[in-house]
Structures are given as structure tokens and as C-alpha cells.
Structure 1
Amino acid sequence: MRVAILAFDGFNEFDCFLPLGLLNRLADLGWKAELASPSSHVTSMNGVTVQAQRALEFANEADAVIFGGGLYARAIAENSALLDRLQLDPLRQLIGGQGSGTLLLARLGLLGDTPACTDSATKPWVVEAGVRVIEAPFHCRGPVATAGGGMAAQYLAAWMMLRGAGRQAAARALAQTAPVGETAQYVDRVLAVVSPRDAADRNRPAGS
């Protein structure tokens, strides 16, 4: 499973590094997550400059794609020349948006009528793009998922592992990174959030 984690200038470290670390826990199963960027180097919102592992176009051939959020998401969403470099296909790819990365999914028409999660600062722009935002850390429908809040990046990564490698593999990866003394509770909680049935029940309107 090849995963492209899209990092643009101003990227949020939680959104990109957290899934990068989690997903690569499945390296023994053939998984490889890499940072893909529009330039050779990108600088995070806190001034950390990293070298991209892949060009932005790697996302077009990857098996899964995560849009990390960041300071300049709105400007990126309005940059058609940049977004035109992306030709994604939810029929063959798992696609996730983290934080303000959800806005980029909206601009690319990947959300349709699916409700989405994002952070509070980005919410007005996502709503303006015609997407219904829900107050939840994670939501998925089919091969597309969104998460809101920096630490919710763990849910996006867990969902991807659950979909691509199964519950046992996802649980193993999460257990390797769980706080000591909280492994069982942590793994169970994260997987409960991202399991499709649980997510559907949690986000269904009361009384339906």
C-alpha cells in the first residue's frame, strides 16, 4: 500500500507526521507512506523545513492519499494551477482530508453530499464551498474520510489501516504507539471511532 501524505508550505506537523509515523508501522505488510509536496522542500507552520520524499503527482498513482492541513489551505484551494496537478480517483484510492485539508477535498469535488469534519478555523470556508460540516472528530463514507483537529490525525491513519490491512494489523500498529499502561483502552477507543458502523451510529441524527 503506497500512501501519499500531501504537505504544502505552512503544513501542520500533526496532520502530516502523525499519520506518517503510524502508517509506516505496517512496513512489514508492504505499506509505505511518504510526504508528497509541490516543491522539493516545504516549511511547516512552526518553521520546520523538510525535504519532500515525493513530488505532488505521486498522489495520482498512490493507493491512498491524505491531505494534511496548514496555514495556507485557503490560498492553495484557490490555486487551480496547483490543484490541477492532482487527478485522484476514489474508485481505486482511499482519500482522506485532515483539518483544513478537508477544504482541498471540497475544492476537488471529492466530498459530494458527504458531511465532513474540519477544524473550527476552516469550517466557514468549507461551508462556503457547499459542504455540511459536522461537529465530530472523524467521518467516513465509502473510500473518503475527513477528520477535524490535530490529534484526530490518528483517526484518519487508523481508518486507512483498518480499510487497507484489517482490524488486527491496525490494532497492532496503534498498540505500538499507545501510551504505556493505556494500550487496550487506547486501541479500542480509536478503532471504535473509525469503524464504519460505529461512525454511522454516532453521526446519525437523534431519533432516526
Structure 2
Amino acid sequence: MPAPTRIAILTFDGFNEIDSFVALGLLGRARAQGFAPELCGPGASARSMNGVSVQLQRPLEWANEAEVVLFGSGLYTRAIAENSALLDRLQLDPLRQLIGAQCSGALLLARLGLLGGAPACTDNSSKPFLVEAGVRVLDESFHARGPVATAGGCLAAQYLASWVMHVKLGEAAAREALRRSAPVDEQDAYVERLLSKIRPFVAA
């Protein structure tokens, strides 16, 4: 039996629930195909921007071992980006990992030097901070260059999840997994919309 695909969904205090839970829920639909998504962070638990406390499944350093690492956004991302002691615990490598971020999470990619000069997607509130960090921000919901992707807008979590599925499992398996989460009378159109958004970047 092949080894599982470990997926670290980085979740810090003040996290946006949509970012973490949508990614966790969608990627969990592919557990039968070996996906093992888990929430990880620097503490035993994290409190969301709306006051929801969750028990984290893995420590922060687990992300260094995972095959896929996804950064969500949150209330305190700018402070986290300036916390070198915290970020130094992450030793990520795009040569062996898929790495994605959405909204303010893209700022953490920039601070870790993972964008490599590529442009990024983010939300309007986070855009000034990315620009200040020297990142060219796209007015788009999803963009990837090789193994690094960014997404803008809370519900763009579905694009990151679709991208991971497509890259790791192929389009047919991604389509099947995504259909299980789609609205009942919209499956074909919903899944095709997701895949059409990320397909050009997978092909590239």
C-alpha cells in the first residue's frame, strides 16, 4: 500500500475558519486515495477569528515532513510574519512539497522566501501588506507557478484543494472527490468550474 499523502493545514490563533475547514473537508474526501489532511500549528489548540477553539492534530514542525502544506489567513498573520522565532521552525522545500496559501497567508510565503519572485493572489485587505513586502499582487482568485500556489478570497480555499487533488491524484480522481461535496443539482457545473480554474496551472 502506498504511503499516505500528508497534508499540513497551518492553523494559527485568529485563523479564518473557511480557509482551514473548507480545505480540510474537501481534501478529506480523498482519504480513500491516500490523502491525510490535518490541522497543525504552534500550540495544542487554536482559537478562530469568530471564537471557535479547535484541537490541533499535529505540531507546527509536522509541516516540514508533509507532502503538501497549506497556509490559511487570519487576524494575526502580520504579527506571525514578523515572528522570526516562529517562522524559523518551518523548513519547507518546494522541490519536494506542494505549498499553497490564501489571502494573508501569502504574506507568510513571502516572508519564508517561497514565492521566488512569482506574483501572488490575496484578498483586498491583505493586498497592501503583500505590496509592502515587494510582492506583485494579481487581481485573480488563483495562481500557481510550479509547486507553489496562492488564492485570493475565503472561498478560494476550494481552488487550493482542487489544485492539490489534481496535481497529486489526476483530474479524474479530483473530479470524483469534488463531486461528493458539490450541491446535488449542480455537480457537473460546479466541479468543472473548479477544475477549469486550476487546470491551466497544472498543465503548465
SS of the residue 1:71 aligns to: coil
User: Separation in 1 of the partners of 2:83 and 2:199?
Assistant: 34
User: Separation in 1 of the partners of 2:143 and 2:136?
Assistant: 12
The answer to whether the aligner puts 1:70 opposite 2:74 as a matched pair is yes
Query: What residue number does 2:55 align with?
Result: 51
Deviations 1:129-176 (A, max 9, x none): 111000000000100000010000000000001001110111111100
The one-letter code matched in structure 2 to 1:47 is G
Give the total of aligned pairs. Answer: 200
Task: Return 171-180 or 1-10, whichever deviates more.
Answer: 171-180
Q: Report the Cα offset of residue 105 of structure 1.
A: 0.4
Query: What residue number does 1:110 align with?
Result: 114
Q: Report the Cα offset of residue 199 of structure 1.
A: 9.0
1:19-34 correspondence runs (5 A): 19-34=23-38
User: Separation in 1 of the partners of 2:77 and 2:203?
Assistant: 26
The answer to whether the aligner puts 1:13 opposite 2:17 as a matched pair is yes
Query: What residue number does 2:195 align with?
Result: 191
The one-letter code matched in structure 2 to 1:36 is C
Q: Report the Cα offset of residue 196 of structure 1.
A: 2.6
Query: What residue number does 2:101 align with?
Result: 97
Relative to the length of structure 2, the TM-score reads: 0.96
The one-letter code matched in structure 1 to 2:89 is R
Could you tell me which runs of 5 or more consecutive residues in structure 1 were left unpaired when the two chains were aligned. Answer: 201-208
Q: Report the Cα offset of residue 39 of structure 1.
A: 0.3
Asked if the contact 2:144–2:201 (Cα under 8 Å) also holds between the matched residues in 1, the reply is no
Q: Which residue among 176, 181, 186 is the counterpart of 2:185?
A: 181
SS of the residue 2:185 aligns to: coil
The answer to whether the aligner puts 1:39 opposite 2:43 as a matched pair is yes
Percent identity between the aligned chains?
Answer: 63
The one-letter code matched in structure 1 to 2:150 is T
User: Separation in 1 of the partners of 2:60 and 2:130?
Assistant: 23
State the superposition RMSD in angstroms: 1.2
Asked if the contact 1:140–1:196 (Cα under 8 Å) also holds between the matched residues in 2, the reply is no
Q: Report the Cα offset of residue 112 of structure 1.
A: 1.5
The answer to whether the aligner puts 1:145 opposite 2:153 as a matched pair is no
Asked if the contact 1:140–1:199 (Cα under 8 Å) also holds between the matched residues in 2, the reply is no
Asked if the contact 1:193–1:199 (Cα under 8 Å) also holds between the matched residues in 2, the reply is no
User: Separation in 2 of the partners of 1:41 and 1:66?
Assistant: 17
Deviations 1:177-197 (A, max 9, x none): 111211000010100001135
User: Separation in 2 of the partners of 1:104 and 1:89?
Assistant: 14
The one-letter code matched in structure 1 to 2:106 is T
The one-letter code matched in structure 2 to 1:63 is E
Relative to the length of structure 1, the TM-score reads: 0.94
The answer to whether the aligner puts 1:158 opposite 2:162 as a matched pair is yes
Deviations 1:50-98 (A, max 9, x none): 0000000000000000001100000000000000000000000000011
User: Separation in 2 of the partners of 1:115 and 1:127?
Assistant: 10
The one-letter code matched in structure 2 to 1:24 is G
The one-letter code matched in structure 2 to 1:73 is T
